[in-house]
Structure 1
Amino acid sequence: MPGDDLGDEGATPKGDIVVTGSRIVRDGYAAPTPVSVLGAAEIAAQAPANIADFVNTLPSIAGSGTSATSSGSLSNGIAGINSISLRGLGVGRTLVLVDGQRSVASSIGGVVDINTIPQDLVERVEVVTGGASAQYGSDAVGGVVNFILNKNFKGVELKVDNGVSTYGDGMNYRFSGSAGFSALDDRLHVLVNAEYFHQDGVDTINRGWNNADYFQINNPAYTPTNGQPQRLVGSGFGVSTYTTGGLITSGPLAGTYFLGNNQTAALNFGTRSAVSSPWMIGGDYKVTMAGHRGTNSLLPTEERIGVFNRVAYDLTNDIQIYGQFSWNRYEGQSFYQQTPSTGVTIQPDNAYLRTYYPTLAAQVTAPFTIGTSNNGFPAPGSDNRREVYRYVAGVNGKFGLFGRTWKWNAYYQHGMTKAHEELTNTWNVARMALAQDAVIVTSANVGSSGLALGSIACRSTLTAPTNGCVPVNRLGIHGGPDPKALAYIYGAGQPYRDETIKEDVAAASASGELFNLPGGPAAVALGAEWRKEQISGYVPTEYQPVRNANGTTTNNWLYGNYLPNFGEYNVKEGFIEVDLPIVKGINLNAAGRYTDYSTSGAVQTWKVGGTYTPLPDIKFRATYSHDIRAPNLQELFASGTARTNSVIMPANSPLGAGAFQFVESTIGNPNLKPEKANTWTAGAVATPRWLPGFTMSFDYYDIRITDAIGSITSQNTVDFCYSGSTAYCNNIVYNGGALSQIVIQPFNFASQHETGFDIDATYRTDLSAISADLPGSFSISTAITHYIKNVINNGIFPIDYAGVNGGSLAGTYNAPHWVYRVSAFYKVDPVTINLVARGFGSGVYGNDYIQCTSGCPASTNQYRTINNNHIPGATYFDASISFKFSAGSHDGSLTFVVNNMFNKDPVLVGNGPDGNNVPAYAQTSRQLYDVVGRVFRVSAGVKF
């Protein structure tokens, strides 16, 4: 991997090698920045359903977004997107390029969907694990991932891939075709590619490992002085605030839950307290968990169609013009278990209470509240549709200057994403309130409504006979609500929003050699770029939240409640890079860029580096850079998407201790400024002459980010507010004595410091060099990344995310301390065998947790105690065998792949009380562990 291709068949492509770590273009140039190159052979050997699945197995990549990690996202617009995050710094700090050019984002958060890149045309993938903002602009804080396409492809190639899990689900298939030809004496080259992909979804309920009821809760017995841990991880826990058929939570009948007709029971709450709400230990926890392990998607059902076309024409021997067009369409469906409802008011004269539970109804004289898992209601979901367009027109050329050949290029790109996000099975809050208030029509209440006596109707219909309300039963287990009632509460339409993201780029650059130095010719690259980013949205008024006079919003819908987003900014940039071979074996490299943002003003980025080669066997390299990440459209202009959430309030809050629902509103901040990062790397590359074919590199990195853009969670807002940081209390809104809203907004208030190192080694040999009787060739490559620390300071106290394998801290920024990948190839024509071992070491729920079971110190907001702070690592084994064959003038290939050969289940992870700690979510860390299981894949291709 150290600047070389991983695959056994990864021969060096013809033409110039443009290494992403530098704008200098010349044969044999090795930039001081660490670069890993993934060849087409390595990618083909794994036959991935999408190329991102393969790239994300690299140890230097952590915290990326995949279909598995985003499948439960109902209303944030990222469902189904495959993205890349280098160093666990977040997808926004990794710059994704296609042939060295930016690509339009697929979401308002600036995320480039790797699925939009034509997989069959990828010649290689270059991964730079060091800051590159001076060369390529904003976002290259963690590094750059550059997908280089085979623009000179000739012939016709057809491929088909198919995959399925060992459980017979998750079926996916891909059909693709590429065609390239030249004409007009090879001056004209036309390239076309098209592909179709389909995947069946997989739900959490289809995996037995997810039924263990394994969670992390607040210890109900904890006090600061009794020596017990504040948090408990384990099984045998359950919620205490709802059941499938409804649990009475107020009044003299509290603790009674509804079963079938006229059947109720008293719930055994086991062990619980205000600090553990809404959780309990033991008791009837299986009753409260029954039917609520959910239909949350492990993988979404999705369909993708992609078309790519490129036409290039040589005007002269020195000038080529080209035009490029790509179009991608994505449609995916994800599902999520219904959100439980608490505080649902049932009136004494409720029709279903009196009809199905007459014995209990006789005891009811006043309204009471229930909690219900809503398990009988259809699972809500999201239908995401995206169309991504990219148009590029450019010209490449060369000219003579200073008696040397210089290269230049210029291009204009227009990119556009049209996104449609529509929710399904999401009820209207006001209609649900009317429908659940059902009564039996009697002579005393019928009035002039004309309703039949003895029938069940909405109370509101008695006085408004034409209001269309259809009563719904929220009590007991009776086979699910009436379809007519569902049609009423869901309404004629479901919440949706349309967004259009546009990106326009105009850029020009040139590079060449200036003069000779003792170590070789000095070279320079320089250029300028203009870029404009826009977002515009549309949400029908009826699907928007209500804007209240005090600035808060009230949700009309259970999910969604979108507001349209609008905003734009432009960037003007200029850069220069120089390479100076001072003497033989010593190379210096420097780059600088001036950037002017319309929103935040001017900023400068720069980079210096060098290589020292004292012997042909070893080269030392080092860089120091000042990089930036500019705020994206979402961080700047988000208008306030609202969603229902819940937090745990402490005893000193106005509401006392307990779990409370509220509306969480996330808004943008147009006053944000770019993040700043200082990064240095130092390492060495060894290519010993006494071991031909062997290359090894070691690189240490240190990244410090200041003015980091961040926002804290609603739970953190509450914790900080009531522990003395009163500034956070301004974001908590109460209305009529109830928790109404918590506002989340990004600011340049955080900092981050990450350190670690990479070790990469590759060995290739023809086995005949060992023994003339041994046929074929062998190669093995090893990549290891050690994340030493990744400390984020949110202005209150620092948290180290390195080594966090799961729990409430798991997410964008976490990565295990040790991540590794070993890949071995054996090739003897016409067969190639590939074996891969990939995995990561054990970790913790949090570096700020103190593990203890007795004699524990008192927990603080920074350091909490927990009974188990260990999460095991995992190693997965993959294997493939490929056959190449010829049939006349046609060349073909057939590849069989098994991923996760031993069908290793994911480790159970108890997500924290302030995280996704609900039964519907997978009880593991999706970003780390394989949640699907063993997968069989077969790929066939023919070229003619």
Structure 2
Amino acid sequence: MNNTARTNIRTRFLTTAASTLLVAGLTTPVYAQSGGGTSESQPDEPVIVVTGSRIASAALTAPNPISQVSSEEFTLSSSATVENVLNTLPQVVPGESGFTNNESSGVATVNLRGLGEQRNLILVNGRRYIFFDARQVTDLNTIPTALVDRVELVTGGSSAVYGSDAISGVVNFVLKNNFQGLEATAQYDITGHGDGAKLNLDVIVGGNFAEDRGNATFYVNYFKRDPTMADARARSTCFLEDAVVAGSPTLQCGGSAGIPNGRFAGLPLGAQLAARPQVGAALDALGLTGIDANGFKLDDTGAIPSRFVVPGDRYNFNPDNYLQLPQERRILGGMVNYHITDSVEAYMEGIYTNNIVETQYAATPVGGSYRFQVNSPYLSPGLQNLLRALDDTETSAATRGDGFTTLSIGRRISEGRVRTSQFERNAWRLVGGLRGDIGSASDSFLTDLKFDAYYSYARTRNVTNSEGVILQAAFTQGVTTVFRNPTTGATSPFPFAGVANGGELVCENPANGCVPLNIFGPNISDAGIGFITGRTTSSQEAKMQVATGVITGKLFELPAGPVGFAAGVEWRDVSAFFIPSQGGVGDTGQISGGGYSIKELFGEVRVPVFDGFELNGAFRYSDYSLRNVGGVWTYGGGATWQIIPELMVRGQYQRAVRAPSVDELYRAQSGISEAATDPCALPTAATNATIQALCVATGVPSAAVGNSGIQPSFQLRGIVGGNPDLEEETTDTFTLGAVFRPTSRMSFTVDYYNISIKDAIFRAPLNSVLDLCYNVFQDATSFYCQSVARLPDGTIGNPGGVSAPFDNIGAIKTDGVDVSAAYTFDVSTLLGGDSKFSIAGSVNWLNKFELNPVAAISSLVNACQGAFGLTCGEPLPEWKGTARATLNVDDFTASIRYRYQGKVTDDRVTRGLLTASQLAVPVIKPEHYFDLSLSYDIKPLTLFGGVVNIFNNKQPLIGSSQEQLNTFPSTYDPLGVRFYFGATLKL
């Protein structure tokens, strides 16, 4: 059988198996949706409080669609970290994770509906949890996975119930309550390549005391994840970028224009070069005739130049990057509750987490424009002649012939070490409160009253230690050198006559000592490396206080039943401060931070109109200490109708708001690197008269327009910062759905959602700013063109960059349908013993995801459904689903999980900027993943193990639109097959 036949058979098998499992899975959901009533075949459900409301319900009849993940799913999924499970859900777009090496702070986040991690609220036991920095986003690494009983997700605005940040929804982690006994779990994971190991240890111990009036539970977790380098997998060994070879699009090994031997550009071109014949003659003598904006590179000696060729001469930085980040985590915590009286219970929760994550990057790239001594002894005679010609023909009389000239450089400091950053995050949280029964005000009014009042304090301190950092000031000093007469001490940019070697080479401004640097070729001395390399430390502290009091109960009786209500007050105070590192390349040194407080009044009501039909409503008034927010209202209303015992329909409308975070308000101006495309570097810029003129007007030399040298790297420098004038975002959410439960073993749900965000706080992607300048407004005086600051050679680098501050300018609209199903049936007659088979699934159809960075211009809408890339970011497939089939036979369990990621198209194609024929990978095809889990109970032990990504699916490769590692590693598995095994002891 040939390879093609094997591939076809494997493809048919995967497609058939996937289709069967997903269709079967849609006869029941893994993540059981709330809903349904009771019938003769269904037992009454307990009175509980589900996420999205504070009113207890006699049945799971939530008007919002609620997805639920059980603790069993964490075991079956081999997930010691929460984000690994949540990222597979159809409602979730992956956030930061263990694969996010670039621009990472070592955290794990969740992103509901792709609306941004800052727009969903994380709760633990229904209360706000720790956020890790000024963005006010929760690091999921701080949540003890072993103690999680279930996770409930409500998608859609929930600000009326929970307050600001609940724009896209709520993720509530419900912890195990009143735990008794001892539970210890050990688990070890390793990939099929024998690397990327993970070790997880959990211990939970709990018991009752004081004649069962109280319970105390304590837990400890230790988790260690080994690093895996990018070159451990062939598909991420080399950074791939889009290229054209022999007229055909392809992916080529590329990387950065900052190279170890140095790339030198910023030379006059075209008419400018013709006006300076001395420079042209010097270039001809060096064999650099016809050089373009990419400039030239040097050989290892630093003496022989040659043209810089794209992409072949670019530096491949991938091998020095992590594929999987190393992590070490420790969690200590406990919960205590005690019945002071039969009707009043005191409770406390406490947790401390220490989380250490490391990122690693290739040696520091240094770019920008620098003054060079034209007679530097580090230069060959030919290069000295070139620099002298440049100096002698400068247009400025003030600098002409002064012995210095300016060139742009792209230099990778490979003589030094790789860059590493260690993020250590220490977080702790304390909660103390009272809850209980108040009784009734009368027999028919305000009955069955309960209360819950608590105070919580949470603090996170982050310290980042970076090694191998190139100190900007030291590098600039070392490059700018002069001659010094050893006898007189006089300095000059020119050699001294009659002095050996023309004098000794020193720094032009040798403050605090200095070592001259030979950056021509990989020739920086050890002393030079020691002078320019340093260790930097930055720190950040974030705090949150919450005080809440709630009363719930029944207002009065109606013919159809009691009117339930909840009312309460809440006070919150949030603050964060950031002390950045000093002196490194791109550091600003600006201390930033701030905070604000909120006072709130809220209420809910649930009204039974007739048998099976209920109305509900909620409101919240929030008074912010922020002058541009002030007092705001959020509200919502909906209905549920149990048409027949087996069928319920539900609908809900919610108005939600999100106040700006401390980061969005007060972040200091700082530099970032982000993948983007400079329109002036595209060949089409040279043929489009409007864009060509605009590029020249914004600082690109006319002869360089349309040349790839204007963008030497796939990433561009951006300048971001806070905006204290921000106002709140506003969101309208509609949901409409149905729950069908024909038997107690079977359920179906279908829910439509529609979410619209106005006045969205945007830090526009750099790609969007450039697009708005050159393709939309096409006016050099426009705000967006004024946001582009170029270097003298026309490139975008340091100093300079694309300014993209936060502002209330955007809009986001999304809608789609979630479908889930679950079915369990007895197979004891077939397999014997106590046997059952269950199958479940959940799928999302994304109908629309429209992203508009400037809502006032309707033509700027980017349709991101079914797309990925520089504008839309993480893949947003129109179809995404997951399903699980589980067989239980007595003490043995076997389960198969299927994960489906639908087709997505490069957004450069969907936006009409390129055609599919111009890209090597315009489309990422659907991906099918299968995972296997096995467990066996041997009291008091449970042994378990399994395989993740059974068929060893390889990551799809893409070029310039990638996030990193030639793909989107949080969406597509870059590691391959993984094996895990472990044991749980229960006493």
**Does residue 924 in structure 1 map to residue 950 in structure 2?**
no
| Pairing 1:453-852 to 2, within 5 Å after superposition | 459-461=505-507, 467-477=512-522, 481-491=524-534, 493-494=535-536, 496-539=537-580, 543=582, 556-599=583-626, 600-643=629-672, 648=678, 650=680, 651=692, 652=694, 653-656=697-700, 657=705, 658-659=710-711, 664-689=718-743, 693-722=745-774, 723-724=777-778, 726-732=782-788, 740-768=800-828, 771=830, 773=832, 776-795=835-854, 796=857, 797-811=859-873, 815-846=876-907, 848-850=910-912
Deviation at 1:469, TM superposition (A): 2.1
Q: Which residue of 2 aligns with 1:553?
A: none
Contact 1:785–1:819, Cα closer than 8 Å, also in 2:
yes
Q: Secondary structure at the match of 1:425?
A: strand
Deviations 1:173-213 (A, max 9, x none): 12221111211101122111111111122232322112465
Contact 2:481–2:507, Cα closer than 8 Å, also in 1:
no
Deviations 1:823-852 (A, max 9, x none): 111111221111111121111111643387
| Pairing 1:880-895 to 2, within 5 Å after superposition | 880-886=933-939, 891-895=940-944
Amino acid at match of 2:151: V
Amino acid at match of 2:350: F
**Does residue 134 in structure 1 map to residue 187 in structure 2?**
no
Q: Work out which of the residue numbers 19, 28, 44 in structure 1 matches 2:75.
A: 44
Deviation at 1:943, TM superposition (A): 1.8
Q: Work out which of the residue numbers 404, 412, 426 in structure 2 matches 1:387.
A: 426
Question: How far apart, CA to CA, are the structure 2 residues paired with 1:154 and 1:560?
Answer: 51
Question: How far apart, CA to CA, are the structure 2 residues paired with 1:444 and 1:369?
Answer: 34
Q: Secondary structure at the match of 1:703?
A: strand
Q: Which residue of 2 aligns with 1:304?
A: 329
C-alpha change, 1:352 and 1:830, in structure 2 (3 Å) is farther
Amino acid at match of 2:944: T
Question: How far apart, CA to CA, are the structure 2 residues paired with 1:320 and 1:765?
Answer: 41
The two structures have a TM-score, normalised by structure 1, of 0.84
Q: Secondary structure at the match of 1:236?
A: strand
C-alpha change, 1:529 and 1:12, in structure 2 (3 Å) is farther
Deviation at 1:319, TM superposition (A): 0.5
Deviation at 1:28, TM superposition (A): 2.1
**Does residue 940 in structure 1 map to residue 965 in structure 2?**
no
Contact 1:497–1:562, Cα closer than 8 Å, also in 2:
no
Amino acid at match of 1:414: Y
C-alpha change, 1:562 and 1:903, in structure 2 (3 Å) is farther
Question: How far apart, CA to CA, are the structure 2 residues paired with 1:579 and 1:125?
Answer: 24
Contact 1:351–1:440, Cα closer than 8 Å, also in 2:
no
Amino acid at match of 1:19: V
Contact 1:447–1:462, Cα closer than 8 Å, also in 2:
no
Q: Secondary structure at the match of 1:321?
A: strand
Q: Normalized per residue, which structure has more helix? A: 2
Amino acid at match of 1:586: F
C-alpha change, 1:939 and 1:439, in structure 2 (3 Å) is farther
Contact 1:47–1:939, Cα closer than 8 Å, also in 2:
no
Q: Secondary structure at the match of 2:903?
A: coil
Question: How far apart, CA to CA, are the structure 2 residues paired with 1:373 and 1:457?
Answer: 29
Contact 2:479–2:507, Cα closer than 8 Å, also in 1:
no
Contact 1:456–1:471, Cα closer than 8 Å, also in 2:
no
Deviations 1:399-437 (A, max 9, x none): 221444222100001111111123221111121123245
Q: Work out which of the residue numbers 415, 424, 430 in structure 1 matches 2:458.
A: 415
Q: Which residue of 1 aligns with 2:932?
A: 879
Deviations 1:292-315 (A, max 9, x none): 334232322221111111222110
Q: Work out which of the residue numbers 295, 308, 318 in structure 1 matches 2:320.
A: 295
Question: How far apart, CA to CA, are the structure 2 residues paired with 1:674 and 1:49?
Answer: 36
Question: How far apart, CA to CA, are the structure 2 residues paired with 1:384 and 1:485?
Answer: 28
Higher deviation after alignment, 16-25 or 108-117? 16-25
Amino acid at match of 1:476: G
Q: Which residue of 1 aligns with 2:97?
A: 66
Question: How far apart, CA to CA, are the structure 1 residues paired with 2:515 and 2:802?
Answer: 33
Contact 2:666–2:723, Cα closer than 8 Å, also in 1:
yes
Amino acid at match of 2:924: I
Amino acid at match of 1:884: D
Deviations 1:648-675 (A, max 9, x none): 3633233223238986432212222211
Q: Work out which of the residue numbers 287, 298, 304 in structure 2 matches 1:258.
A: 298
Question: How far apart, CA to CA, are the structure 2 residues paired with 1:456 and 1:529?
Answer: 76
Q: Which residue of 2 aligns with 1:6?
A: 30
Deviation at 1:369, TM superposition (A): 5.5
Contact 2:153–2:170, Cα closer than 8 Å, also in 1:
yes
Q: Work out which of the residue numbers 175, 188, 191 in structure 2 matches 1:149.
A: 175
C-alpha change, 1:456 and 1:201, in structure 2 (3 Å) is farther
Contact 1:384–1:419, Cα closer than 8 Å, also in 2:
yes
Q: Which residue of 2 aligns with 1:547?
A: none
C-alpha change, 1:468 and 1:906, in structure 2 (3 Å) is same
Q: Give unmatched runs, 5+ long, in structure 1.
A: 222-227, 270-279, 544-555, 857-864
Question: How far apart, CA to CA, are the structure 2 residues paired with 1:754 and 1:558?
Answer: 39
Q: Give unmatched runs, 5+ long, in structure 2.
A: 1-24, 35-41, 268-278, 289-294, 390-404, 493-498, 681-691
**Does residue 328 in structure 1 map to residue 372 in structure 2?**
no
| Pairing 1:191-230 to 2, within 5 Å after superposition | 191-211=217-237, 214-216=240-242
Contact 2:929–2:949, Cα closer than 8 Å, also in 1:
yes
Contact 2:921–2:958, Cα closer than 8 Å, also in 1:
no
Q: Secondary structure at the match of 2:924?
A: coil
Deviation at 1:439, TM superposition (A): 7.9
Question: How far apart, CA to CA, are the structure 2 residues paired with 1:832 and 1:848?
Answer: 45
C-alpha change, 1:67 and 1:892, in structure 2 (3 Å) is same
Deviations 1:471-507 (A, max 9, x none): 44433356xx54432221024x42x322211101000
Contact 2:673–2:717, Cα closer than 8 Å, also in 1:
yes
Deviation at 1:248, TM superposition (A): 4.4
Question: How far apart, CA to CA, are the structure 2 residues paired with 1:12 and 1:149?
Answer: 25
C-alpha change, 1:935 and 1:482, in structure 2 (3 Å) is farther
Contact 1:435–1:471, Cα closer than 8 Å, also in 2:
yes
Deviations 1:566-620 (A, max 9, x none): 2111111111111122111212111111111111111111111111122222111
Q: CA RMSD in A?
A: 3.5
Question: How far apart, CA to CA, are the structure 1 residues paired with 2:176 and 2:191?
Answer: 32
Higher deviation after alignment, 411-420 or 251-260? 251-260
Question: How far apart, CA to CA, are the structure 2 residues paired with 1:257 and 1:874?
Answer: 42
C-alpha change, 1:339 and 1:807, in structure 2 (3 Å) is farther
Amino acid at match of 1:682: L
C-alpha change, 1:761 and 1:427, in structure 2 (3 Å) is same
Deviations 1:919-938 (A, max 9, x none): xx411123321122222222
Q: Which residue of 1 aligns with 2:410?
A: 371
Higher deviation after alignment, 704-713 or 652-661? 652-661
Deviation at 1:799, TM superposition (A): 3.4
Deviation at 1:246, TM superposition (A): 2.6
Q: Which residue of 1 aligns with 2:88?
A: 57
